[in-house]
Amino acid sequence: MAKNTSIKLQDQARNLYSKGDFLKAIGIWEILAKSGDAEAFAWLGSCYANGDGVEANDEKALELYESAAKKGNVLAQSNAGAFYFMGRGVVKDIKKGLFWLEKAASNNDVNGLFNLAQIYFQGDCVEKDQTRAAELYRKAAENGHYPSQSRLGFMFAQGTGVTKDRTQAYLWLTMAAQHGIGSALDALESMVKEMSVEEKSQGQQLFASWRAKTGQYKNQIALMPSPS
Helix (H) or strand (E) holding 219: none
Q: Is 70 exceeded by the pLDDT of residue 216?
A: no
Domains 1-107 and 109-228 share a fold: yes
Residue 223 to residue 82: CA distance in whole angstroms: 6
The CATH number of 1-107, from 3.30.1360.10, 3.40.50.720, 1.25.40.10, 3.40.50.300, is 1.25.40.10
pLDDT band at 208 (very low <50, low <70, confident <90, very high): confident
> Which of the 8 DSSP states describes residue 224?
S
Amino acid at site 47 = C
Residue 176 to residue 48: CA distance in whole angstroms: 31
- pLDDT, one tens digit per residue, over 19-77 is 999 999 999 999 999 999 999 999 999 999 999 999 999 999 999 999 999 999 999 99
- pLDDT, one tens digit per residue, over 88-119 is 999 999 999 999 999 999 999 999 999 999 99
Domain 109-228, what architecture?
Alpha Horseshoe (1.25)
Q: Is 74 exposed, middle or buried (0-12, 13-18, 19+ CB in 10 A)?
A: buried
Pick the closest to residue 13 from 5, 21, 4 (CA basis). Answer: 21
Amino acid at site 213 = K
